[in-house]
Structure 1
């Protein structure tokens, strides 16, 4: 099944909104970025040969490491 970028973005938004509340409440200050393929630089950094070998990546401060100092920061991705 082939979907357009817009259809895929809608599916992602629906998936996030359908998450149980206990997970959604932990997703504060997170931006979901959708890209067709990872950059060559990222693949080299992660030591991944195929661009299809990376389907998701979290970059940011883990929820368990956020403290009272975690304010006014750019969103995690």
Structure 2
């Protein structure tokens, strides 16, 4: 589902998204949760880890690839709790949200065009 969401991005965005590693795991690793000061791994459904395109420079030497993390069990937990969206829609929203950060959009920018996040 996550890969389909990336493939469904508009062509200009899909092209840029191909340079990002898409990593789907059950839950966020403990070190990631610690860094973000999150106690409950079920509250984090996705994360962009990298330098947004709007902040990159040709002089930057990347130390690791930009990565979008998708946390499967956290998404399933939210889907069950919500009960008002399809699993595919929820996965798509999480994936698009995280890739939007790669494109340089803030949470406020995303919320301005997607009422889901308000």
When the two structures are superposed, what TM-score results if normalisation uses the length of structure 2?
0.49
Aligned residue in 2 for 1:75: 65
> Structure 1, unaligned stretches of length 5 or more?
1-10
Q: Distance in 2 between matches of 1:30 and 1:18?
A: 15
Between the two proteins, the alignment pairs up a number of residues equal to 67
Say which of 16, 27, 51 aligns to 1:26: 16
Instruction: Determine helix, strand or coil for the equivalent of 1:37.
Output: coil
Post-superposition offset of 1:53: 0.9
Larger radius of gyration: 1
Contact 2:6–2:17 under 8 Å retained in 1: no
Does residue 51 (structure 1) correspond to residue 41 (structure 2)? The answer is: yes
User: Whole-Å Cα distance in 2 between the matches of residues 61 and 27 of structure 1?
Assistant: 13
Deviation string, structure 1 residues 9-54 (Cα, Å, up to 9, x no partner): xx11111111111221332421010110111221111111111111
1:60 to 50, 63, 66: 50
Aligned CA distance change for structure 1 residues 53 and 24 (closer, same or farther; 3 Å): same
In terms of fraction of residues, the more strand-rich structure is: 2
User: What TM-score do the two structures reach when normalised by structure 1?
Assistant: 0.71
Query: Structure 2: how far apart are the matches of 1:35 and 1:59?
Result: 14
Please, what is the CA RMSD of the aligned residues? 1.9
Query: Unpaired runs of 5+ in structure 2?
Result: 68-118
